[in-house]
C-alpha cells in the first residue's frame, strides 16, 4: 500500500494543476505548468495524464495545450455554462453550430459538446436542424422565470383587463411577449367552458403565423420587421413570394383595424383575435389575444371582439421603463 502522505501530496499537486489551468486566461502548456508549480515536467505530465483520463482536463490537438473540460470545480462549471448559455441566447431561434459556439465562447469544441449534453438532457437547449445541428435556447428556461414574469409590470396591469374580457367573452385570454423572432405565451386566463382553446405558458410560435404574431409584426418598427422577415426567408419553412405578399397585405389591414384575426392558421378548428399592448412611448411591449374554438364564433362576432379588445387596451398605461427585465431576456435587434 502506498504511503498516505505521498497520496495526499499527489492529490495536492493535482488540485494545484486544476487551479492553475482554471485561473489561466488561455490554455496552458505542460512546460508553463511545470514552471509555475516548481515541479519537474515528468511529474506534472503524469498528473495531467490522470486528469485527462478522468476528463477533468482536455489537451488540444492543435498545440498540445491544456484547458479544463466540462467536468471541473463548481465555480468553473458555472462560469462556463453561463458563458455558453449567453452565446446560445444571442443566436435567436436559428441557433448556432458547434463551431460557432466554440468560437463565441473561446472553448474547445469538445468542451462545448460536453457542456451541451446535460443541457440538452434537461431540455434547457434544443437542436434546430437547418442542414446541420444548431443549438438554441428552449422555452423550458421560462420555468425558471415564470414567477417573476407573473409579477412584472405588464402582467400585473393586464390581469384586471384579462379577467374582465374573460368574463365578457367566456373565452380564453392570453398574453404574448416577443423574444427575437418568436412569440412566447407568458400569461393565460383560461375559459371555463368545457370545450376551449388553451395553451401552456412557455409555448412559443413564429411571428408570421397566428393573430398574436401578426398583431405584433404589424406595429413594430419597419427596420425590426424587415430583419425578422429577412431571417424568416432564410429558413426551411420560408413563405414563397405570393405568401409573403399576402402576409404584407394582411399586416397593413391589421394596422388599419388595430387588431388581427386568425382562423385555423396554427391549430385547425381554433380561432383568435389579438391586439398589441403599447407602452408610454408607443412601443409594442406585448400582445393580448382572445382565443376560442372556431365553431363558437361567427365572423361578425370575431370582429366585435377585436374592437372590444382594442377599446379595453386604450386605457392601459404601461411605463416605457417598465420592461427592463424582459428586454434583458431578449437578444438585441
Whose grid coordinates read 486528469? 51
Cell numbers for 139 = 422555452
Question: What residues make up the domain containing 254?
Answer: 141-329
Cell numbers for 76 = 468553473
CATH number for 245: 3.30.450.40
Q: Is the same domain home to 106 and 221? A: no
Of the residues 84, 106, 137, the one at which a domain ends: 137
Q: Is the same domain home to 26 and 145? A: no
Q: Is the same domain home to 259 and 222? A: yes
Q: Is the same domain home to 304 and 276? A: yes
Cell numbers for 70 = 466540462
CATH number for 55: 1.10.10.10
For residues 69 and 111, is the Cβ–Cβ distance under 8 A? yes
Tell me the pLDDT of the chain (333 aa) as tens digits. Answer: 455 556 567 777 888 888 888 778 788 899 999 999 888 898 889 888 888 887 788 788 778 888 877 555 555 677 778 888 888 887 766 788 888 998 888 887 888 888 888 888 888 888 876 667 888 888 777 666 655 554 456 777 888 999 999 999 999 999 998 876 778 888 899 999 999 988 888 788 878 888 999 999 998 888 888 887 777 766 656 667 787 888 889 999 999 999 999 998 888 899 999 999 988 778 888 999 999 999 999 999 999 999 999 999 987 777 664 443 333 333 333
Whose grid coordinates read 504511503? 3
Q: Is the same domain home to 42 and 165? A: no
For residues 197 and 293, is the Cβ–Cβ distance under 8 A? yes
Closest by Cα among 28, 38, 36, 37 to 64: 28
Question: CA-to-CA distance for 61 and 263, rounded, in angstroms?
Answer: 56
Question: CA-to-CA distance for 249 and 256, rounded, in angstroms?
Answer: 11
Of the residues 137, 154, 178, the one at which a domain ends: 137
Q: Is the same domain home to 318 and 305? A: yes
- Number of compact structural domains in the chain: 3
Contacts of 293 (CB under 8 A, 6+ apart): 195, 196, 197, 269, 270, 271
Q: Is the same domain home to 161 and 108? A: no
Amino acid at each position: 500500500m502506498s504511503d498516505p502522505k505521498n497520496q495526499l501530496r499527489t492529490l495536492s499537486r493535482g488540485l494545484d494543476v486544476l487551479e492553475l489551468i482554471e485561473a489561466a486566461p488561455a490554455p496552458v502548456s505542460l512546460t508553463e505548468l511545470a514552471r509555475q508549480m516548481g515541479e519537474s515536467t515528468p511529474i506534472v505530465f503524469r498528473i495531467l495524464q490522470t486528469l485527462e483520463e478522468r476528463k477533468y482536463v482536455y489537451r488540444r490537438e492543435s498545440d498540445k495545450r491544456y484547458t479544463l473540460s466540462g467536468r471541473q470545480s463548481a465555480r468553473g462549471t458555472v462560469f462556463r455554462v453561463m458563458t455558453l448559455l449567453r452565446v446560445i441566447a444571442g443566436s435567436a431561434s436559428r441557433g448556432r453550430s458547434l463551431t460557432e459556439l466554440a468560437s463565441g465562447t473561446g472553448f474547445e469544441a469538445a468542451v462545448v459538446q460536453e457542456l451541451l449534453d446535460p443541457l440538452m438532457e434537461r431540455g434547457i437547449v434544443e437542436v434546430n436542424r437547418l442542414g446541420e445541428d444548431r443549438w438554441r435556447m428552449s422555452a423550458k428556461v421560462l420555468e425558471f422565470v415564470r414567477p417573476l414574469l407573473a409579477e412584472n409590470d405588464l402582467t400585473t396591469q393586464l390581469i384586471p383587463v384579462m379577467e374582465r374580457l374573460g368574463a365578457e367573452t367566456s373565452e380564453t385570454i392570453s398574453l404574448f411577449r416577443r423574444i427575437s423572432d418568436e412569440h412566447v405565451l407568458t400569461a393565460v386566463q383560461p375559459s371555463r367552458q368545457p370545450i376551449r382553446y388553451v395553451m401552456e405558458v412557455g409555448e412559443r410560435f413564429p411571428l408570421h403565423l397566428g393573430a398574436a404574431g401578426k398583431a405584433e409584426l404589424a406595429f413594430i418598427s419597419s427596420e425590426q420587421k424587415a430583419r425578422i422577415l429577412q431571417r424568416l426567408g432564410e429558413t426551411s419553412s420560408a413563405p414563397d413570394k405570393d405568401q409573403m405578399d399576402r402576409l404584407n397585405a394582411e399586416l397593413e389591414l391589421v394596422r388599419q383595424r388595430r387588431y388581427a384575426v386568425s382562423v385555423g392558421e396554427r391549430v385547425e378548428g381554433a380561432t383568435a383575435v389579438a391586439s398589441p399592448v403599447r407602452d408610454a412611448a408607443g412601443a409594442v411591449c406585448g400582445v393580448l389575444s382572445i382565443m376560442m374554438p372556431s365553431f363558437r364564433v361567427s365572423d361578425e362576432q370575431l370582429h366585435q371582439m377585436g374592437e372590444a379588445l382594442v377599446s379595453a387596451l386604450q386605457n392601459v398605461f404601461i411605463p416605457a421603463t417598465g420592461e427592463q427585465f424582459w428586454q434583458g431576456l431578449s437578444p438585441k435587434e
